[in-house]
Chains A and B, each alone.
Chain A
């Protein structure tokens, strides 16, 4: 009786909190979202209060990822009923059309949003996603650049553009995008580290030295960033091995590489020790 009721409340709260965490972290673990979200919607809708609408949205998008058009459709109908004429819901309808590969219809949907609201960034980004899905990378890049001229502070867009450039092996332009991100987010170790990776990939002594500096900067911002640590080792080693460098530079980089090796070994020791502790338990 009472115990069962408590368990149910705990289970329900856990599920709702999980969904919230995944929303906040922007996790694309769609199968899990569908599992948890579908049960929450079917069994506990009344307890969710106003949370239910954002959950419908989250579950709908995850359902599209899992080819669960039945579930996506249900969520969409609930949202249409509650928010008639909403641009946000219109965009979700567009995403469903994208998932069904009805790109022209999806595009028309987004165009109709933009007619009513030309500053609707979500609709513009969906149109660019369609170009990406169709493999039209050059056009996607062009549109995204145009978008960023207007919405220069959109970090998600700068990051997306850097990825598009990397996929096209246009590392110089990718670096530019990451420079924008580092400027507006000087404490973000991930941007530093990604910038360092791009510079390293570009190659050449100057870029290697830059990459080493930015791997080091990323480590300063987060001393547990293993990519930055490995990157520091790799870049310093390559610089030290380069015939063009003078003895002083070579000596310094040999030292950096040695320090990095030491840190890497320590990191592995700590992680293995933790594994052993876990096993013993």
Chain B
């Protein structure tokens, strides 16, 4: 019932937050679609393989979020992915608790994917060195969101995630990160971020 993150997913989340330090940002996490539900599927963690940065600035409006969810859902189906989580970093650094909006979006995702996670980014611990994971992961239990401890176990390979995220931050890769807002400003902007994906692979 728990999710794990790949380096690519973690990286792009943090790059998104780093690109807009003065704004709230949010986005989605996707996992590979499981072929069949195994009996012990509760014990195998779900691996979030990628992250789709959505918006920056004013988050709490519905129409563009619906457009993004629709387009990304289609993309997921084409790539055998499923939307497995939602992340948000609030505008104020010290404010890292999920707000009503985050819970709403999280609940919406949980409707289609029961093990969906809601992730809040803790900007107070955000450093270039990335020495510790700065996420708070919330699981959906009985209509409530329960916070789970986020440590190295929540990552496919924390050492790799730490090294690569730090390297990309130093290299200012966040300047070329594309979110859905950027895409709406210019359709040529690709929210799958193939260049950054290449950089991550290159550094692996």
Contact = CB atoms under 8 A, between A and B. Distances in A.
Given A28-B22, A197-B63, A230-B63, A135 B95 contact: yes
B69 to A, nearest CB: 11
Nearest to B174: A31
A166 B63 contact: no
B94 to A, nearest CB: 7
B63 A231 contact: yes
B187 A271 contact: yes
A167 interface: yes
A245 to B, nearest CB: 19
Interface string A252-281: 000000000000000110110011000000
Interface string A38-54: 00000000000000000
Interface string B36-78: 0000000000000000000000101111101100000000000
Contacts of A211: 63
Given A166-B60, A169-B60, A230-B63, A135 B184 contact: no
B64 A197 contact: yes
A201 B188 contact: no
A235 B64 CA distance: 11
Chain A interface main SS type: helix
Contacts of B60: 166-167, 169, 201
Contacts of B91: 167
A200 B64 CA distance: 10
A234 interface: yes
Interface residues of A, number: 28
B61 A197 contact: yes
B92 interface: yes
A166 B58 contact: yes
A227 B184 contact: yes
Given A271-B187, A275-B188, A235 B63 contact: yes
Given A197-B64, A201-B63, A234-B66, A268 B58 contact: no
Contacts of B100: 169
Contact of B67 (A28, A198, A234): A234
25 contacts: A28-B22, A31-B172, A65-B22, A166-B58, A166-B60, A167-B60, A167-B91, A169-B100, A169-B101, A197-B61, A197-B62, A198-B61, A200-B61, A201-B62, A226-B185, A226-B187, A227-B63, A227-B64, A231-B63, A231-B64, A234-B63, A234-B66, A268-B187, A271-B186, A271-B188
Given A235-B63, A274-B188, 7 more contacts: A166-B58, A166-B60, A169-B101, A197-B61, A203-B62, A230-B64, A234-B63
